[in-house]
């Protein structure tokens, strides 16, 4: 395709003429009005304004204690520290105190 200013042959993929240094405008390039429209704020559609936020996050922390009986091999699950038998509860609390003191 020749240069529109000097009629020199255009190199493949070139954005300007190698002879007269004129800029080539590709037919797909947006015009002035299209470029200005990109800078103007767009009005949001009603359905976008009324829509709920796309993400909701909920965080929940639970403790589950699993204790295996060494004699029978039976596993028991306790969902809180209060459910543990007193001797196990004291062992867990003691271990936690030891971990806090190391920090």
Give the chain's largest Cα–Cα span: 97
Indicate the range of 27-31, 64-68, 99-103 predicted with least confidence: 27-31
C-alpha–C-alpha distance, residues 11 and 2, integer Å: 9
Q: Record the pTM.
A: 0.37
pLDDT tier at 19 (50, 70, 90 boundaries)? Answer: confident
What is the per-residue pLDDT for 68? 92
pLDDT of 77 above 90: yes
Q: Name the percent of the chain lying above pLDDT 70.
A: 81
C-alpha–C-alpha distance, residues 7 and 64, integer Å: 80
What is the per-residue pLDDT for 15? 77
């Amino acid at each position: 395709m020749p240069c529109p200013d000097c009629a020199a042959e255009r190199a493949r993929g070139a954005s300007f003429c190698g002879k007269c240094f004129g800029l080539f405008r590709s037919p797909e390039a947006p015009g002035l009005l299209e470029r200005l429209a990109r800078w103007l704020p767009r009005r949001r559609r009603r359905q976008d304004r009324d829509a709920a936020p796309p993400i909701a996050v909920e965080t929940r922390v639970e403790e589950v204690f699993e204790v295996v009986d060494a004699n029978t091999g039976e596993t028991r699950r306790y969902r809180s520290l209060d459910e543990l038998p007193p001797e196990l509860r004291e062992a867990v609390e003691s271990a936690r105190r030891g971990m806090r003191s190391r920090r």
